[in-house]
Amino acid sequence: MSGMTVYETERLIVREWTAAPDDLDRMTDIYTREEVTRWLPPFEFDAVRAVEGWHAFHEGDRRYGSWAVQVRDSGIAAGTVLFRPIPGGDGEVEVGWHLHPDSWGRGYATEAARGAVERGFASGLEEVYALVKPDNAASRAVCRRLGMTSLGRTRRFFDLESEMFRLRGDGGDNKDGEDG
C-alpha cells in the first residue's frame, strides 16, 4: 500500500507514510538504527504514533510534511524527507532527510530535498534552512549540492549544536554553492 503522492522526481516518488505494515516496519527499521538516530535529536520512536502525528501536524498546511522517499524502480522506501517550520523557531522552514543506510550514497537525499525545496519556493517561500550536526559530513555535502550557504553553528534549535544552512529562492546568498 502506498500513501498519497506529494511530488515526484526522476527516480523517486515522495508520498505520505501510511499505517500499512510495510511502511511501519521500514520506519521502525530506519528510526531505531544508531547510525541514523545519532544524527537526530533524542526521541522515543513509535511508528504508528509517528504516522498519526505527521499527518495531524501537516494537515493544516499541505506545503509541509514528513514524507516517505520511495525509489521508483524498486518500490522500497529509502527514508524520509521533511519540510516544515523548525520547531521552536520564528517561522524558518527546514528541509531534512533521514535515510536507511542501505540507501546512502545514491543521491536520494539530495534529489528528495531538492524536490521539497523547489515545491516550497513554488508555494511562495523565500528561503529554506537545514540543520546538520557539525560532524555529519554526508549531510553537509547534501547541503552544498543543494546550493545552500553555511550560516555557522547554532544551539538555537533542539538544544543541540548544529550547523545551519540557508538557501534563498532568489539565489541571493548562494554565489557559488559552497559553505563559508
Residues 6+ apart with CB under 8 A from 22: 1, 77
* Average pLDDT value over all residues in the chain: 90
pLDDT reading at 18 higher than 70: yes
Predicted confidence at residue 173, as pLDDT, reads 60
Cβ pair 136, 160 in contact under 8 A: no
pLDDT, tens only, 129-173:
999 999 999 999 999 999 999 999 999 988 889 999 999 998 666
Q: What are phi and psi of 173, to 5 degrees?
A: -115, 20
Amino acid identity for residue 107 in this structure: G
Question: What is residue 2's predicted lDDT score, i.e. its pLDDT?
Answer: 66
Give the model's pLDDT for residue 180.
37
Residue found under cell 557559488: 176
Q: What is the pLDDT of residues 119-137, one digit of tens each?
A: 999 999 999 999 999 999 9
- Give the residue ranges of DSSP H helices in 32-62: 34-37, 47-58
User: Quick count: other Cβ atoms within 10 Å of Cβ 81?
Assistant: 28
Average pLDDT over residues 50-76: 86
pLDDT class of 107 with cuts at 50, 70, 90 = very high
Give the integer Cα–Cα distance in Å for 153 and 25. 35
Q: Is the model's pLDDT at 63 over the cut of 80?
A: yes
Domain annotation for the chain: domains and CATH numbers:
5-168 (3.40.630.30)
